[in-house]
Structure 1
Amino acid sequence: MDTIQKTEPGTASYDIGGVRYPQPFKIRRLGHFGFNIADLDAGIDFYAGLLGFRITDTRDLKKIPGREELARRLDDGRIVFMSHNSDHHAFLLAHKSLGAIFGDDAVSKDITVNQITWQVGTMEEVFAAADYFRDKDVEIRRVGRDMPGSNWHTYIRDPDGHTVELYYGMEQIGWDGRSKPEALYYRAFRERPDLPQMSEEQEVREAIAKGIDIDAGNVIHDRGEQDYVVAGVRLKRPFKIVNIGPMSLFVSDVAASEEFYTRMMGFVRTEVVTWRGHRCVFLRNGGEHHSLSLFPKALRAELGLNPNTTVATMGMQVGSYRQLRDAVSFLKGKGAQFADVIPAELYPGVDYAAHVIDPAGHCLMLYYYMERVGWDGRPRPASERRKVGKDWPESLEPMSDTYADPAFMGPLG
Structure 2
Amino acid sequence: MNCYNIEEAYNFYTRLLGFKLSDELPFAKILPPEKKHIAEGPGGTGYFLRYGSDHHSLVIFPKRVRDQMGGSAATPAGITTNQITWQVGSLQEVVDGHTWFKENKQEIIRAGRDMPGSNWHVYLFDSDWHVNELYYGIEQVGWSGQSKPGPMRERGFHVVPELPQKSEQQEVDDAIAAGIDISAGHRSIDAYDETFVVDGVYLQRPFRVTGIGPVRLFTPDVAAMVAYYRDVMGMTVTEEIDYRGHRAVFLRVNAEHHSMAVYDIGLREVLGLREDTTLMSFGMKVASYRQLRDAVDWLKAKGIEFVELPGELFPGIAYAAHIKDPDGHLIQLYFGMEQVGWAGERSAGRAAAITSDPATWPETIEDSGTLFDGEVFMGPWS
Q: Which of 371, 374, 379 is the equivalent residue of 1:405?
A: 374
The reply on whether 1:47 has 2:16 as its aligned counterpart is: no
Matches of 2:114 and 2:352 in 1, distance apart? 43
The reply on whether 1:209 has 2:174 as its aligned counterpart is: no
Q: Is the 8 A contact 2:311 2:353 kept in 1?
A: no
Aligned length in residues: 376
Matches of 1:223 and 1:242 in 2, distance apart? 21
Q: Which residue does the alignment assign to 2:362?
A: 393
The reply on whether 1:185 has 2:153 as its aligned counterpart is: yes
Once the two structures are TM-superposed, the CA of residue 391 in structure 1 deviates from its matched residue by 1.8
Matches of 1:219 and 1:360 in 2, distance apart? 27
SS at match of 1:73: helix
For residues 211-267 of structure 1, the C-alpha deviation after alignment (integer angstroms, 9 at most, x for no partner) is 111111001234554510100000000000001110000012000000011011100
Q: Which residue does the alignment assign to 1:85?
A: 52
**Could you list the runs of 5+ residues in structure 2 that have no partner in the other structure?**
none
Q: Which residue does the alignment assign to 2:39?
A: 74
The reply on whether 1:309 has 2:274 as its aligned counterpart is: no
Matches of 1:109 and 1:225 in 2, distance apart? 41
Closer, same or farther in 2 for the Cα pair 1:71/1:107, shift >3 Å?
A: closer
Matches of 2:328 and 2:132 in 1, distance apart? 22
Q: Which residue does the alignment assign to 2:337?
A: 370
Matches of 1:67 and 1:399 in 2, distance apart? 58
Matches of 1:223 and 1:165 in 2, distance apart? 34
Matches of 1:193 and 1:387 in 2, distance apart? 46
The reply on whether 1:356 has 2:323 as its aligned counterpart is: yes
How much identity, in percent, do the aligned residues show? 45
Q: Is the 8 A contact 1:60 1:78 kept in 2?
A: yes
SS at match of 2:83: strand
Give the RMSD, CA atoms, in angstroms: 1.7
Once the two structures are TM-superposed, the CA of residue 408 in structure 1 deviates from its matched residue by 0.8
Q: Which of 224, 234, 237 is the equivalent residue of 2:202?
A: 234
Q: Which residue does the alignment assign to 2:234?
A: 266
SS at match of 1:262: helix
Matches of 1:149 and 1:105 in 2, distance apart? 18
Q: Is the 8 A contact 2:28 2:38 kept in 1?
A: no
Q: Which amino acid aligns with 2:170?
A: Q
Once the two structures are TM-superposed, the CA of residue 374 in structure 1 deviates from its matched residue by 0.5
Once the two structures are TM-superposed, the CA of residue 103 in structure 1 deviates from its matched residue by 4.5
Q: Which amino acid aligns with 1:247?
A: V
Matches of 1:165 and 1:110 in 2, distance apart? 19
The reply on whether 1:36 has 2:5 as its aligned counterpart is: no
Matches of 1:327 and 1:223 in 2, distance apart? 20
Closer, same or farther in 2 for the Cα pair 1:298/1:105, shift >3 Å?
A: farther
Q: Which of 106, 109, 133 is the equivalent residue of 1:138?
A: 106
For residues 142-174 of structure 1, the C-alpha deviation after alignment (integer angstroms, 9 at most, x for no partner) is 100001100000000101110000000010011
Matches of 1:90 and 1:297 in 2, distance apart? 27
Q: Which residue does the alignment assign to 1:31?
A: none
Matches of 1:233 and 1:275 in 2, distance apart? 42
Closer, same or farther in 2 for the Cα pair 1:217/1:107, shift >3 Å?
A: closer
Closer, same or farther in 2 for the Cα pair 1:278/1:388, shift >3 Å?
A: closer
Quick check: 101-110 or 361-370, which moved more? 101-110
TM-score w.r.t. structure 1 length?
Answer: 0.87
Matches of 2:329 and 2:15 in 1, distance apart? 17
SS at match of 2:135: strand
Relative contact order, higher structure (CA 8 A, sep 6+): 1
Closer, same or farther in 2 for the Cα pair 1:250/1:223, shift >3 Å?
A: farther
For residues 345-404 of structure 1, the C-alpha deviation after alignment (integer angstroms, 9 at most, x for no partner) is 11000001111011101011111110000011122479x544646521111111221111
Q: Is the 8 A contact 1:108 1:160 kept in 2?
A: no
Matches of 1:106 and 1:81 in 2, distance apart? 19
Q: Which residue does the alignment assign to 1:61?
A: 27
Q: Which of 316, 323, 326 is the equivalent residue of 2:294?
A: 326
Matches of 1:237 and 1:104 in 2, distance apart? 38
For residues 244-303 of structure 1, the C-alpha deviation after alignment (integer angstroms, 9 at most, x for no partner) is 110000012000000011011100000001111111000000100000000011111111
Provide runs of 4+ in structure 1 moved above 6 Å: none
Q: Which of 135, 155, 172 is the equivalent residue of 1:167?
A: 135
TM-score w.r.t. structure 2 length?
Answer: 0.94
Matches of 1:260 and 1:388 in 2, distance apart? 30
Q: Which residue does the alignment assign to 1:13?
A: none
Q: Is the 8 A contact 1:48 1:222 kept in 2?
A: no
Q: Which residue does the alignment assign to 1:339?
A: 307
Matches of 1:354 and 1:387 in 2, distance apart? 13
Matches of 1:263 and 1:196 in 2, distance apart? 28
Q: Is the 8 A contact 1:270 1:289 kept in 2?
A: yes
Closer, same or farther in 2 for the Cα pair 1:124/1:69, shift >3 Å?
A: farther
SS at match of 1:290: coil
SS at match of 1:326: helix
SS at match of 1:187: coil
Q: Which amino acid aligns with 2:25?
A: R
Q: Is the 8 A contact 2:213 2:285 kept in 1?
A: yes
Q: Is the 8 A contact 1:113 1:162 kept in 2?
A: yes
Matches of 1:385 and 1:405 in 2, distance apart? 14
Once the two structures are TM-superposed, the CA of residue 106 in structure 1 deviates from its matched residue by 5.4
Q: Which residue does the alignment assign to 1:22?
A: none
Q: Is the 8 A contact 1:284 1:290 kept in 2?
A: yes
Q: Which amino acid aligns with 1:59?
A: L
